[in-house]
Amino acid sequence: METSTKDRILDTTAAMFRRYGYTGTGLKQVVQRANAPFGSLYHHFPGGKEELGGEVIRRSGKMYEDLVMAIFASGATLEEGLANVFSGAAAVLRETDYADACPIATVALEVASTSEPLRKATVEVFDGWIVAATLRFVTAGISETKARDLAIGMIAALEGAFVLARATRSTEALEVAGKMSLLALEAARG
Amino acid sequence: METSTKDRILDTTAAMFRRYGYTGTGLKQVVQRANAPFGSLYHHFPGGKEELGGEVIRRSGKMYEDLVMAIFASGATLEEGLANVFSGAAAVLRETDYADACPIATVALEVASTSEPLRKATVEVFDGWIVAATLRFVTAGISETKARDLAIGMIAALEGAFVLARATRSTEALEVAGKMSLLALEAARG
DNA sequence: GTCTATAGAAGGATAGAC
DNA sequence: GTCTATCCTTCTATAGAC
């Protein structure tokens, strides 16, 4: 138990955001689950829920970027890596009873029309993903403009498949989205 | 003003779900905006928020299905209709300051791990969309299995693009997703 | 079937002792 | 920097007059 109170609060909030969303996550529940006194929350995050939320979005977003990019780089070929991203996401969903998909998608939709600071935090995350994925495609020899489209298409397909998969409790959409992304890659390679 | 109290409550809730989500929508705000007395809500929806939410999900989902399918059928060709779905969605987003995307996506993610009755309502909606879109592809001469994949791929691409578009306040993702869906259609036609 | 009032719980936030 | 107690608002839900 060497984690700090602040880290426990951040980790707990991240886990709750993923399943219950932003408005669905209560600060009292957070400190209870994190085994932290209520006052510590406002000591570490004077800006309250919005400040905590912003840090969690950026932190979860970066961690997920690292995870996905590692899987993306895991394949022997670019195609294999791309396929692994979708099959890996499907495996995690099945293992977590369709709870753990994108860590910020629910929150991103919730705050898009309700909090500018939080919306901007989600944009930073998505931009980071797009840049990272674009770089991967470019490194594999694809032109900059095509690479960006592939990156955005892959992320959109993944996010959309997550919506369908979490609702239906099936990974069918992830398999279809994976195949569709591979097709786009094929076309870009010409 | 010939709308009934019940219809006003349903319409108002639908509009609020779209922007603020399920937990972000308060029943007091609903009745206030709908110009309805609070008691009427529980008169028409004895099951409270969950019953109201279920009806709104099904109703909004069906209306959106009709709208999208009408646009899908609007083009001279299947390809044109498909492109119109994405460009039409982009136009609506721009016109509504990136607020009005999918009417149930936010709610679907919120309730996926918190309410079985509501999750099932979202599944019904998504299944309806998949069936309708599949039928459209089949009618155009595509095999049943390929048509279903195209339908799921199109809906996933649209939903994922909505997430990115609402967050970034840009329609770039919708354009990319539209192109990606067209590519999938091309490949299916072989 | 309409409407008001209020209960009872949970929400975010703050004060202040230690 | 830790922790408790409490404030005020908002939430869902109910009771009961009309």
Within 10 Å of residue B153's Cβ, how many Cβ atoms? 28
B164–A160 C-beta distance less than 8 A = no
Q: What is the DSSP letter of A171?
A: S
Average pLDDT for chain A = 97
Q: Among A49, A96, A110, pick the best mutation site for testing chain B contact (most B Cβ within 10 A).
A: A110
Using the CA of B23, give the nucleotide whose C1' is nearest.
D11
Q: Quickly give A122 CA vs D11 C1' distance in Å.
A: 27
Q: Using the structure, give the distance in angstroms from the CA atom of A72 to the C1' atom of D1, rounded to a whole number.
A: 42
Q: What is the pLDDT of residues A23-52, one digit of tens each?
A: 999 999 999 999 999 999 999 999 999 999
Of B20, B106, B153, the CB nearest to A176: B153
Interface contact B176-A167, CB threshold 8 A: no
In chain A, the DSSP E strands lie at none
In this prediction, residue B74 carries a pLDDT of 94
Kindly state whether A116 is in contact with chain B, defined as any CB-CB distance less than 8 angstroms.
no
- The sign of the dihedral angle between the CA atoms of B164, B166, B168, B174 is positive
DSSP string, B36-105: --HHHHHHH-TTHHHHHHHHHHHHHHHHHHHHHHHHHTTSSSHHHHHHHHHHHHHHHHHHTTT--S-SSH
Backbone angles phi, psi at A105, to 5 degrees: -60, -50
Tell me if the pTM is above 0.95. Answer: yes
**Of A2-6, B128-132, B160-164, the least confident:** A2-6
- Stretch B170-178: mean pLDDT, rounded? 98
CB B143 within 8 A of CB B58: no
Closest-CA residue in chain A for B184?
A180
Give the nucleotide with minimal C1' distance to the Cα of A4.
Answer: D1
The DSSP string of A74-103 is: TSSSHHHHHHHHHHHHHHHHHHTTT--S-S
Q: What is the pLDDT of residues A106-130, one digit of tens each?
A: 999 999 999 999 999 999 999 999 9
Q: How far is CA B107 from the centre of its chain?
A: 10
